[in-house]
Amino acid sequence: GIMPDTKKFIENLSGAGKCIGVLTSGGDAQGMNAAVRAVVRMGIYVGAKVYFIHEGYQGMVDGGDNIKEASWESVSSMLQVGGTVIGSARCKDFRTHEGRLRAALNLVQRGITNLCVIGGDGSLTGANLFREEWSGLLDELVQSGEISEEASQIYSALHIVGMVGSIDNDFCGTDMTIGTDSALHRIIEVVDAIMTTAQSHQRTFVLEVMGRHCGYLALVSALACGADWVLIPEMPPKDGWEEQMCYKLSESRMRGSRLNIIIVAEGATDRHGNPISSNAVKELVVRCLGFDTRVTVLGHVQRGGTPSAFDRILASRMGVEAVLALLEASPGTPACVVSLCGNQAVRVPLMECVQMVRKSFENNLNTYKLLSHRKIDSELPHSSFNVAVLNVGAPAAGMNAAVRSAVRVGITEGHTMFAVSDGFEGFYKGQIKEIKWGDVGGWTGQGGSLLGTKRYDYISKGLLIHNINALLVIGGFEAYLGLMELQAARSKHAELCVPMVMVPATVSNNIPGSDLSIGADTALNAITDTCDRIKQSASGTKRRVFIIETMGGYCGYLATVGGLAAGADAAYIYEEPFDIRELQSNVEHLTEKMKTNILHRNYTTDFIYQLYNEEGKGVFDCRKNVLGHMQQGGAPSPFDRNFGTKIAAKAMQWISKKLKEFYREGRVFANTEDSACLLGMRRRALVFQPVVQLKDETDFVHRIPKEQWWLRLRPLMKILAKYKTSYDVSDSGQLEHIVRLRAKDVSAI
């Protein structure tokens, strides 16, 4: 027989006759609104009815006006709002049997048998209990005559899909929970602000961040800002930590650092379970060292503010995924949680998540330990290998974090690290010098590239006068081409036979072999910030259409994903050819509903602007905005800092391994395909891929990969902007068990 076509398309999934209730519960988190918006619009798109359940479980128990049908318009302009618009309450009633009975009655009366719960683990555990009791609750309602026997048959199964919204990122089975990235943005904004004042006054700052049982925020923000010390509940410090910490602080002052930052999670304890408060840490520093020390407690600031681009995209993708999971659920499927693992949508049984303690951040912990504690020279292995780091191509935010990480890991592994300024040109100009541990302090928070990234025209033969044994290249398409050329020239130049690895860093995100590149997240945030401001300015005026041009050469990643995060109506990109007819129909579509627009260049921005201006006369006026270099500048986002830090550390560890492997008779000689690699994020793992093998995946004329994963997100943007479109859902997450997940991914992150 012929294999059935495995592709599933959205057109074949019907939600007709289904009712979905959406609620947010527990503590609020930025991005919850984006999730609610996606559930509502996707639900309506597939023909289901969607109901808001206001005030979480309390609204479900109280019924009445708390449960309202949602319309398409009822979720517009909530994408950029923090918190949750439909309200969230802690609910005592739902914990009682009586409360759950009333909730069941309210749902049955409206025919709602599909619930999408956005909240922390408490909320999701509650939902699961409710589902287990469902048929019993219906029997009771039939007995008391509140519902008919017939109704209990029709509504006999309750389906539940959860999304984790919790800024602590304390949930097992999910890489990132909704709101975590935004909370990191708030923390990093504060740290960056503090750093400037601490620099002026030579101060020590103790920063307390949220996390009663989970040190994720503390740990990752410590990684992202290069803090001197971090205290988290998962890893109580050894006895005698006080002296150790004070020694480290005074040592870094002696090396000329003017500030110290200590990050404390609110739940931090010592080995004996005694809490360590931020004030206690301050008193300790003052007592031992006499440093001028201040405490800053971040508190609820971390839950505030607008959601970051990452959270909007995560929440939008998850909201759509949740509706698909509900459409595909049968009475036998367990309640599941939708989430992202790496860049891959997954579904995990809810109870497995709740029962397992989360351990995935051990990788973050190890990276932090590697980078923050300088070893004494006598402790270091001495490898006598020389490793050079260079940035090639246009600057991208996060490059410096990558260099810092690479240099420190390299020194820890015993290599002598060299920095090459101005990319490949720096080699023959002799702009190459040894770089030490302290030289890269404070680099994580700086935008652009401190090494300089001049584009190269030719590579001189004098490339390797400095006896460099390995090469780490950080950059965009130029770097990728350069690495290929170097590899190809190995047959003529034996000096080029050294391990080389490239880490992708470019705002365009157009590198074959990697789903993401350093700098793209920062650029997306620049785009969403601009769009948010534009939306605000436009809300007070008469109806307007805004056209925004993003960077990216022929690669439409920023336009597409930026469009999804900003709630744009259309994104015009090179990869999906469009003609005047399509533009025309978009203009008509807008004439009906009026909002903003993002695009990519090819038809020029001016042309599209004029078209919209002509056609929209009398209905809306038109403004345009070219974002240009704003997208490359600015401080890197927490995501880019961490991605840069982790990926560069992994690249350096690979270099160490290869150096040992290819060391023969007193020299390094590497001439195999797998000794010139690109390290990229592929779906859910970081993988080393020989550049030779990536050749066939590359469109060299347009400088883009031939297949781009994010093109699959384009229909989402269209659906969420009310266009009828075909959406291939064969890639939606499959139900997986956590155990399998863990083993595969431990090496990945």
* Closest alpha carbon to 326 in 338, 317, 314: 338
Residue 70, Cβ neighbours under 10 Å: how many? 22
* Closest alpha carbon to 655 in 538, 510, 503, 535: 503
Query: How many angstroms separate the CA atoms of 703 and 699, rounded?
Result: 6
CB-count exposure of residue 437 (10 Å: 0-12, 13-18, 19+): middle
Query: How many angstroms separate the CA atoms of 197 and 258, rounded?
Result: 10
Q: In angstroms, how far is the first alpha carbon of the chain from the final one?
A: 41
Q: How many CA atoms lie within 13 A of 401 on its CB side?
A: 31
- Residue 366 sits at φ, ψ, to 5 deg, of -65, -40
Query: How many angstroms separate the CA atoms of 176 and 163, rounded?
Result: 11
User: What amino acid is encoded at 591 in this protein?
Assistant: T
CB 212, CB 397: distance < 8 Å: no
The C-alpha angle with vertex 743 and arms to 738 and 747, in degrees rounded to 5, equals 125
| Helix, strand, coil shares, percent, the chain, to 5 | 45, 15, 40
Residue 597, Cβ neighbours under 10 Å: how many? 25
Query: How many angstroms separate the CA atoms of 590 and 92, rounded?
Result: 46
Q: Rounded to the nearest 10 degrees, what angle do helices 309-328 and 557-566 cross at?
A: 80
The reply to whether 270 belongs to the active site is no
Query: How many angstroms separate the CA atoms of 644 and 669, rounded?
Result: 28
Pairing of β 597-599 and β 663-664: unpaired
Radius of gyration of the chain from Cα atoms? 27
DSSP conformation class of 238: P
Length in residues, the chain: 749
Pair of tokens at residue 428: 């023959």
Cβ contacts of 151 within 8 Å, gap of 6 or more: 108, 138, 142
* Closest alpha carbon to 338 in 555, 525, 116: 116
Q: Quote the strand ranges of 505-577, DSSP E.
A: 544-549, 571-572
* Closest alpha carbon to 34 in 300, 305, 323, 320: 320
* Closest alpha carbon to 29 in 269, 280, 228, 217: 217
**DSSP SS3 for 459:** coil
DSSP conformation class of 629: G
Query: How many angstroms separate the CA atoms of 282 and 249, rounded?
Result: 12
CB 144, CB 376: distance < 8 Å: no
* Closest alpha carbon to 478 in 456, 507, 445, 450: 456
Q: 375-390: buried (b, 16+ CB within 10 Å) or exposed (e) per residue?
A: eeeeeeeebebbbbbb
CB 411, CB 417: distance < 8 Å: yes
Pair of tokens at residue 533: 């401001």
Label each residue of 679-720 as H, E or C.
EEEECCEEEEEEHHHHHHHEECCCCEECCCHHHHHHHHHHHH
Annotated catalytic residue, options 28, 62, 121, 168: 168
Tell me the catalytic residues. 168
